[in-house]
Structure 1
Amino acid sequence: MHQTLVSSEIATRRIEMLRSPEARFLVMLRLWPEGAEAQAQVWSGLCHDLGAGRARACLSAFEDLDRILRKSAWHMPRLGDPGDATLTPDEDALCRFLLVSLEAEREAALAEAMFLVRPDAILPVTLAASRVALPLLCVECRLRLEGARCRRIS
């Protein structure tokens, strides 16, 4: 799933503009193809934030998403390097799709998926994306609640 970013491509958003589920997903996208050490880093971060069971489910869904993209994407997404501050257009589209698959109406997510994969993979890629996004969104919600609780206490 990893291809080198062509310097003439225009990045769409910067990492600091992403919601936390998108940012975590971007880290996963960029690190996963880098090999075992990077994959262990992804796993460790997920376990810390989600616990082992939810981390395993999230990572399983991510691997399903990766497999579907490898098999059925119109083109392989171009990914930036792990340290890049800006997103490639493909990364931006995948991050937006991840949240749409979870938060928007199903029809909107399926419509977005048509731009990513062949017709036979639209439903599976949407399901996989929502299975990745849900635990990442839960982390965002938990952090927000903990922040609100800390503000009430102080």
Structure 2
Amino acid sequence: MTMQDRPGSAAILEAVAAFLRNEVLPAVSGTLAFRTRVAANAVDLVRREIDEAGASDARLRAAFSALLGSEGEDGAQLATLSNAIAEGRFDAATPGLMDLLWSLAEARLAIDQPTYPGLALAHRLRTDTEEGSPDGLQS
């Protein structure tokens, strides 16, 4: 088997979640059924993190660097940003801040709650606002 024949991490995790839901879950009940659902959901969450990480990480890192004026680890940059907001050095009028906060929230929701109805609406309103409609609503 060559490297090209191997399924990717996302495909393996998808298969594990399907196995838990389609084969294990029907065969168990009670606490074990609950734990099986939790495990399948956790596997799905990890798969989404893998899928989404590459798409948003570079964009978020660039936004953090532009706003903070330096590069660093994601967790350290988030802590620096949080402190700057708490200390009043950054506020809603700080160029780039609101865009970064929206991007962070959307990226997290895409992983944690991808079917959350408000996610698509918020993304659409944000896109409409960026395209020139100040209140995010089409006339």
TM-score by length of 1: 0.30
Higher RCO (Cα < 8 Å, 6 or more apart): 1
Q: Which structure has the larger Rg?
A: 2
TM-score by length of 2: 0.32
